[in-house]
Structure 1
Amino acid sequence: MVRFKDLSIRYKLTLIMLLISSVVLLLSSTAFMVNELLTLQATMDSDLRTKTRITASSAASALHFHDAETATYALKALEADHSIVMAQIFSNRQSEPFATYVRKETAKPALLGDIKAHQFYYSHAYLQFSMPMQSPENEHQGDIVLLLDRNLLYQRIRTYVSIAFGIVLVSVLIAFLLSTALQGVITRPILSLVDLTHRVSHEKNYALRATIDHHDEIGILVNGFNEMLQVVEQRDEELEKHREHLEQTVANRTAELKKLNLKLTYQAYHDALTNLPNRALFIKRVEQAIHHADENNELLAVLFIDLDRFKYINDTLGHAAGDRLLQEVAQRLLTCTNQPEDTVARLGGDEFTLLLRNVREPANAGIVAEHIIKALTLPFSFHEQELYVTPSIGISIYPKDGRDVGSLMKNADAGMYMAKNQGRNNYRFYTSSANAASAARLNMEHKLRQALEFEQFEVWYQPRFDIRTGQIVGAEALVRWRSPDFNLVPPAQFIPLAEDTGLIIPIGEWVLRTACQENMKWQSIYPHSLNVSVNLSARQFVQEDLLNSIEKMIADLSMNPSRLELELTESLIMPNAEDTIETLKALKKLGMQISVDDFGTGYSSLSYLKRFPIDTLKIDQSFVRDIPEDEDDCALVTAIIAMAHNLKLAVVAEGVETIEQLHFLRNYDCDYVQGYLFGKPMPAADFHQLLKNPLNLSEQFGYSYCYPLSAET
């Protein structure tokens, strides 16, 4: 069934007009009929009262003389009025009617109620009225009762209803015809506007306009609709212009981005100074060349070229002269290759590499190396000054010296160091047996310098726990070297070399600053204060500006100096003990904590130990490793703990790896522990996660007075 709200406005208007007309007519007719019926009822009451009075007057004498026949005759005079059903006269002396009249063909009806003076009684069929009858002397001698038939009233009601129904039907018909004729005046322009709306919606033609000539609200609606279409048309035109402009802008930007992408791609794979391929592009081309050579059973050669004493030129004449020299070297290297598929690249600094594809025999790579030496031996002119450089060249051959990029470059680099070791300004093929140790050391030193230059070092952290509370109290900062192939170089391989070459100084300074910066971050994510422990090397410790550099770093970072612990080995502090004491006092004055690392492995002097302004002793893991099984180690550890506590020093046990070791140290009141049992050295991000979800020693290792930790995550 169609709902009213879903009908068209035409039908809605028609139904509304018919409904209003019908309601008005029904209300009017009802009011009229009610008024007429009330009037008719009042007339019937008045007429019955009059007839009763007249009849009582005509029969009063007969009642007075007790002439029943005359009284009955007087009542029969009512036969002329067909509305009178029955009339009765009652005498005061008799309980039965004195005289009675009943309309013919009508059964004698019963009275509606008691006979009371001037009292009306109503029923569905009859109307009863009675009044007293007086004697000529005005004495009450009886009563007269008339019963009126109300059928006339009902006939009138039916007549009125029929008339009202007819009027309503005729009125509804006339209203329908009039509404049908007149509603078009309203609905026609609205329907026309609806049709125009559909056209605009489907055709998207906002140039269409409504042409309805009205000056009423519909006219206002049409004018508003036309104005809206005009605005939309203007907006559409503007949008079209903007779209065209945007498309053109996008096209222009796309072209610019393509150019920029080409430029960025070029920059990503080329050296900004010499425009030669860089390390990334060189590696990619070597990989492609290896794949091709493997499929075609060809030889490849990788040449590693380093300019001898280039740093001297940079330091003497400045970096501008050094950059100009590198550009000239790059151009000369390009002239030394005959094949277009060969690649000359600059790895960085004064290091260049050369890829020779389809080498018929290794000797051909040596010929190219000789051409390079000859080309670079010629002087370089710079500001009317002649500069001379010599190259050291290492050569590796695929597949003899390596089947991957890393091996070929590493071995070519090793060959280059062999060339330097044999007097420079020459070339050497890589050999695994000749001067292997020297080449490895030179290679490691070279890579160590590169690691410092290209920031390949990382600081890892091993957590330290309070053995009594189970709470993390800090971490030891440990340097790690991640090589370009993303492998970690063991510290034992590069720390001694860094010490020998002096590179430990810049490495140590970087580790110290990085660890302090990381410690500042810890304070924001962990509810307790944390210390960071950093090892000082022997070379760092004897620097003249050690105190100034540490003080400046603390000030720059706005760090609480008590959060920094400097670790010194026995072998570092015992020689020149008097000078060491002064330096340690100066460091303590700055507010830092001092600890002795690997205690027990050196040649400690207890007389000096008590004079050193230190805070902590760290028991070397070599003593912890075999407790509690080894009685000697147990005795040494307990003695160190007791001695340290007597000197009011804290004790840290390193290398704790078993629960038994943990319980032993706890039972002998060791203060702090660290080791693989609680956590290996880990990157900063992993240590952050540990701080957010700290290890609960009491739950993990089951002893009652290690309290659970809570950390804000």
Structure 2
Amino acid sequence: MKKDKLTRKDLSFFIIPFLVLTLGVGTLTYYTAQERVQDVHNMMEKSSLNIADSYTAALLNYQDAYRIAVNLLEDKILVASRAVLLIDDNDSTTESLQKLAQELQVDQINLYNENGQIISSNIEEYVGWQTYEGHPVYRFLKSGLESFIEESRPDSVSGEYYKFGYVRKDDTTFVQIGVLDENLNAFTQQFELQNLIEDIVEKQDVDHALFISNEYKVLASSMSDSRGNEIKDDTVRRYIDERKLVLNHSDYEGEKIIHVSAPVFSKEDYLGTLLLIWPGDLVDEEIRSIIMEGFIEFLILMCVGGAILYYAYRKDKSNIRIAYYDELTGLPNGTYLEEYLEELVVTPSKGRRAVLLLNCSNFKTLNMTFGYKYGDRILQQISEKMKTVLREEKMFFRFNADRFVIVVEDFKSRNELLSLANKLLAVFRQPVDGGSKDEYLDVQVAVLELTGMHISSDKVLKDVSLALSHLKHYDNRQIILYSDTMQDDILRKEAIEETLRQVITGTDTTSFTLHFQPLWNVKLHETMGFEALARLHVEGIGAVSPMEFIDLAEKNLLIYDLGKIILAKACDFVNLLKEEGYDNQLIAINISLIQLLREDFTKDVHRMLLKKGVSGKNLEFEITESILMDNFELINEKLAEVKRLGISVALDDFGTGFSSFARLRSLNIDTVKVDRYFINRITESAEEEIITADVISMAHKIKLTVIAEGVELQEQKEYLERHHCDVLQGYYISKPLAEEDAIRFLMENSNEKVI
């Protein structure tokens, strides 16, 4: 097969005139663009100075008002400090200081001893904090000053900005008062510097405006997240220090911007710097206009030379490269791959052929974390690493964002494919250079050997992608071979899911049923109820285990609607039992965590009870012990709502999870179902090693009913009766029964001690 769509072409007969023409137009366009861009920059500088001059008077008024406001605030901090000193040491509790902080409208009150340790505070976790050499508190401790006010700084514990003040009580103790920076801003906001900045943005063509003090602090900004911050950028600091008009280009949130630093003076007094951020597209528009003009000029010149260049254009390979090659890596792209595979599968060959699909599973994470340019650099390195392994005769494609395809022809054995896959993995055991740091890539390889069933590129790519998706079922596995069972597994899941959807929508009323396993009351020797067990029959598959279809229902967000159908069928069975004269039978239903945590779960249950005319006392909801590991309080609250409907609650599989008897006391349940593991131990262990009786006894002590599930032998039954288990369930009593058989079981065992 022909493996390269690009062919060599002799460009010498047209490349020189084309370069001369391009150079001439490019040079003209470049100098024109330079001149236009400079005009735009001059306009920006002039406008920035005019804006600064026009708002100077307003800014000057703000500066005076701001100084007054800050002085008032500092006086307030000192007054508050002295007020705290009047409190008796015995009254300096956290609660009293919290109340005093509210009255004085301050955010922190800390009392220090002579060692610089906080002995009392309105913030409890600050008590015991110890100052250290170099810290502002330590400097005040050693200064001998009676009082002191700091500039705003980050708090050493919380990291939030505060303005702190100190007053010494005596040689042994002193008080520290703190006011949050955001409250300081609220105190000074009435002087409306912020309004001036927002007015500039509203009335001028700028995107953003900031006013920065000579201490590099942002006093006002049209970007709310920058107010109160300190400017860290050394370049911007240098502009502020130089106090002259400066225009500069930079990037902000992925977009090009132009910012102009304009110093603001009142006579000879420096008030601060007005930083105006102009949209970068003003220059871009000029450049686009120039490029368009240059393009038109170029087009005219090309038309003149068209007769000469006509035949060269026909041979130009750029269109082929755009259509069939990836711009980033230079590899053949997905379109090329599909055409190549289409030709491959219809071309007879004596040799064996295969496709390898390589996937970088953590590429998307890297892309989202570090950006698309970073991801592009990673992809280029993936391509280069793979080229070191692959020989020229193997076709190598970039299939999509993070997947690459290798087509192997005339290989001898499957071991040769596995060897190639391992070589590919080996090169990625070394990190790739991400620029800022090295990155390790998680690489997986799916291998598909082409057969007569692969009659199209779509079939090939679907099967190899299917194989790759099966890797998620295996831990620490990086290579997988396609097998026909994978397709069968997908078809099986699709058939089960489709049947479940038809059951939920009501178009299928026969495939989904409930069977009922009797619950035998040991003391009364009678059936007290049944556990409802879901059953699903899928056409072409047969009976599907509950474990399989319940898991699929949860993964496909169908479990809640399926649960409502189970509840409805259980209520129908309760009514059927009542018609037969069995009013007090209890029907137990398994409830998943997804159902229980649904906000409208109990409302839906209540509506179902009303609709079916069933009392909550005829129902019991079973939850598994494992769901209590997380969100215990929330789940317990939900169980309380269930019990308020009259429905009892049972804890299933008890003993296999992490619940303690101490925790069970606070859990809103009525029953525990001892896991079949403990029941099996009755016949598998010596009497003294069996703890089942202890579990029953302890459950009874906290007033819980005990159900033993999985009872299958006479010996188990006798042991459980001997140790006063309340209810038995299992094949020894009865297997799960259809509705008619369940009613027959009740009739046959009524008032008879047959078990």
User: Higher helix share goes to which structure?
Assistant: 1
TM-score by length of 2: 0.35
Structure label with greater radius of gyration: 1
